[in-house]
Amino acid sequence: MTIIKNLMLPVLATGVILAAGTLAPTAHAAPAKAKFTSDGAVKMPVNWREWVYVGTPLTPNALNGGAAAFPEFHNVYVEPKAYKHFAKTGEWANGTQIVKELVSVRENDNDPNTGASMEVSGQGYFMGEFIGLELTIKDTKRYSDQPGGWAYFSFGHQPQPYNATAEAFPAEACNACHAANAEGDFVFTQFYPVLRAAGK
Ligand code: HEC
């Protein structure tokens, strides 16, 4: 018995150390890296609809003089490893990618004033088609000229296919509004219940 106990203990201890060793890197995993062309443009991410969905602000064109800056629904997704890091630490790691995909309001005899349609669940706004894709990347080295290291991109305000690559906008076009108005390190966490819940 004593021999078995003596043998078992080190085995158990090693098992625990191994388990802790494999858990720690997962919990603090670095965000998956964005891909770039040789001249520094960012490539459109793949499978962003499988990233962590955090919320959908809605600025219907019909309520914004027919032309909202970011029309209709804005579905926001965070790259999963960046999300894990945020949930663990409350901070956005270098390399974080967040996309916002624009989705039109469904066309179905919409009210000309509000843009709403009447569907089986009631009057309101229902999702139509994908109409645009934007991305932000935090990288304080690559984008040291952008406040906070956050660079902003658009792969087009158009139905798919979106553009394959995008150049960073100048800071005054995008970053400045985020810097002034977003509550969570340039990210609009005040509009994303999933991030507010995760950050606690
Ligand atoms: C006038 C202010 C303003 C400007 C300018 C602006 N944004 Fe935003 N952005 C917002 C708001 C508000 C949100 C929160 C979600 C929403 O309403 O779409 C947001 C959210 C985002 C998100 C999702 C992640 C986050 O930070 O919340 C991306 C990606 C994004 N914007 C890209 C861009 C790009 C690209 C540009 C420049 C072409 C830009 N934004 C310019 C106000 C702005």
Please say if the pLDDT value at position 23 is more than 80. no
Span from the CA of 89 to the centroid of ligand 1 (angstroms): 23
Is 92 contained in some domain? yes
Is 3 contained in some domain? no
Q: What is the CATH number for 166?
A: 3.50.70.20
Span from the CA of 4 to the centroid of ligand 1 (angstroms): 62
Could you tell me the pLDDT band of residue 28, with boundaries at 50, 70 and 90?
Answer: low
Radius of gyration of the chain (CA): 22
Q: Is 185 in the pocket of ligand 1 (CB under 6 A)?
A: no
Distance CA 133, CA 158 (A): 8
The pLDDT, as a whole number, for residue 29 is 75
Q: Is 60:88 a contact under the CB 8 Å cutoff?
A: no
Give the pTM: 0.88
- For 20-27, what is the mean pLDDT? 46
Closest CA to ligand 1's atom 17: 57
The pLDDT, as a whole number, for residue 18 is 44
Q: Is 98 in the pocket of ligand 1 (CB under 6 A)?
A: yes
Q: Is 146 in the pocket of ligand 1 (CB under 6 A)?
A: no
Could you tell me the pLDDT band of residue 197, with boundaries at 50, 70 and 90?
Answer: very high
Span from the CA of 173 to the centroid of ligand 1 (angstroms): 10
pLDDT digits (tens, 9 = 90+) for 78-120: 999 999 999 999 999 999 999 999 999 999 999 999 999 999 9
Is 6 contained in some domain? no
Is 13 contained in some domain? no
DSSP per-residue string spanning 53-107: EEE--EE-GGGTTT--SS-EEEEEEE-HHHHHHHHHHSSPPTT-EEEEEEEEEPP
Closest CA to ligand 1's atom 6: 174
Structurally, the chain folds into a number of domains equal to 1
What backbone torsions phi and psi does residue 119 show, to the nearest 5 degrees? -120, 180
The CA angle 181-163-92, to the nearest 5 degrees, is 35
Is 2 contained in some domain? no
Distance CA 24, CA 14 (A): 15
Q: Is 134 in the pocket of ligand 1 (CB under 6 A)?
A: yes
Which residues constitute the domain of residue 59? 28-199
Please say if the pLDDT value at position 11 is more than 80. no
Is 4 contained in some domain? no
Token pair of 136 as six digits: 């932000």
pLDDT digits (tens, 9 = 90+) for 109-160: 999 999 999 999 999 999 999 999 999 999 999 999 999 999 999 999 999 9
Span from the CA of 152 to the centroid of ligand 1 (angstroms): 8
